[in-house]
Amino acid sequence: MKLVRTGPLGQEKPGMIDAEGRIRDLSGHVADISGDVLSPKGLQALKAIDPASLPLVEGNPRYGAPVAGVSKILCIGLNYSDHAAETGAQPPTEPIIFTKQINALCGPNDDVEQPRGSDALDWEVELAVIVGSRAKYVSQSEAMDYVAGFAVMNDVSERTFQTKRQGQWTKGKSHDTFGPLGPWLVTRDEVADPHDLGMWLDVNGERRQTGNSSTLIFNLPHLVSYVSQYMTLMPGDVITTGTPPGVGMGMKPPQYLKVGDVMTLGIDGLGEQKQTVVAARP
């Protein structure tokens, strides 16, 4: 299934994509795409619904982030060996975990804000894992049982804030709109091999990133299990799993985003996003 949330910001309604690519309204069955809806039992109940029985959503509504009730956005740094090389870093021996604050979460085609004082705004196409069940101290062998599905995320980053302003990476990752997610959550059963997904990102129509999830340093079961040793994962939590090479910071000389630039990005089978950079709003 492809699960979506569409409508104005703060008023999104749950839906699913039918075989013809049309949005079907799920609000008669579930309040939102969150909590128990993301559990194996909840997803099985949705799968039993005939999409043709659901009302069509007319027009071209805004896509919101495809999951609600997110308590944590956890990011894995330098998880592609070729990306680590382009940044001059050694590949890590354990997953690097940092956080992106919830206020960064936005829809896949919403504008991305350039913060005040920003001079190094960067892009990162990433495969995101959406947690479906409470996970604490899970093994690698059972880790994927706790995953509801996958989505595209652009891990937008301000590199000066991230690397030159002291402290941890969080403040370079957490401005409003720094977490476009979607357009949809693709359930785990719909993805034959999440470790063989092509990914790409363009800026103003020029290819910047090309990669494949087959080159992850730490695979998805490893990441879910690893993170669950340090904190309890809850339904709706998002784990972004790293980015392939081609970020602005790694270019020679570095190239960064400015107001008016347009990012388009996607991952095989998980859909595409498009964002325009705008000046930060109050």
Domain residue ranges of the chain, discontinuous segments joined by +: 68-279
Give the C-alpha separation, 197 to 214, whole Å: 7
Tell me the per-residue pLDDT of 222-268, one tens digit each, with 9 for 90 and over.
999 999 999 999 999 999 999 999 999 999 999 999 999 999 999 99
Rounded distance between C-alpha atoms, residue 243 and residue 75, angstroms = 10
pLDDT band with cut points at 50, 70 and 90 for residue 169 = confident
pTM: 0.96
Amino acid 198: pLDDT: 97
- Res. 220: pLDDT tops 80: yes
Q: Are strands 198-203 and 262-267 parallel, antiparallel or unpaired?
A: antiparallel
Q: What pLDDT is stored for residue 186 in this prediction?
A: 98
Q: What is the pLDDT of residue 89?
A: 73
Per-residue pLDDT, 166: 79
> Residue 122 in 3-state DSSP?
strand
Under the banding of pLDDT at 50, 70 and 90, the label for residue 182 is very high
**Average pLDDT over every residue of 164-192:** 94
What are the start-end ranges of the E strands in the chain?
A: 2-6, 13-17, 23-25, 73-77, 96-100, 105-106, 112-114, 121-122, 125-131, 147-154, 157-158, 179-180, 185-187, 198-203, 206-212, 238-240, 262-267, 271-279
The pLDDT of residue 167: 75
The reported pLDDT for the residue numbered 164 is: 84
**54-91 residue pLDDT tens:** 999 999 999 999 999 999 999 999 898 777 777 777 88
CA distance linking residue 10 with residue 188, whole number of Å: 27
pLDDT digits (tens, 9 = 90+) for 5-64: 999 999 999 999 999 999 999 999 999 999 999 999 999 999 999 999 999 999 999 999
Cβ 15 vs Cβ 5: under 8 Å = yes
* The pLDDT of residue 170 is above 80: yes
* Residue keyed to tokens 């997904």: 197
What are the two backbone dihedrals, phi and then psi, of residue 63, each rounded to the nearest 5 degrees?
Answer: -90, 125
Residue 166 token pair: 């002291």
| Exposure on the CB side of residue 75, measured as CA atoms within 13 A | 27
Distance CA 214, CA 195 (A): 5
Is the pLDDT score of 144 beyond 80?
Answer: yes
Lowest mean pLDDT of 78-87, 130-139, 212-221, name the range.
78-87
Q: What percent of the chain has pLDDT over 70?
A: 100
Supply the mean pLDDT for the chain: 96
Please, what CATH class does the domain formed by 68-279 belong to? alpha beta
**Residue with more model confidence, 99 or 83:** 99
CA dihedral over 232, 34, 189, 129, signed as positive or negative: negative
Residue-level pLDDT at 214: 94
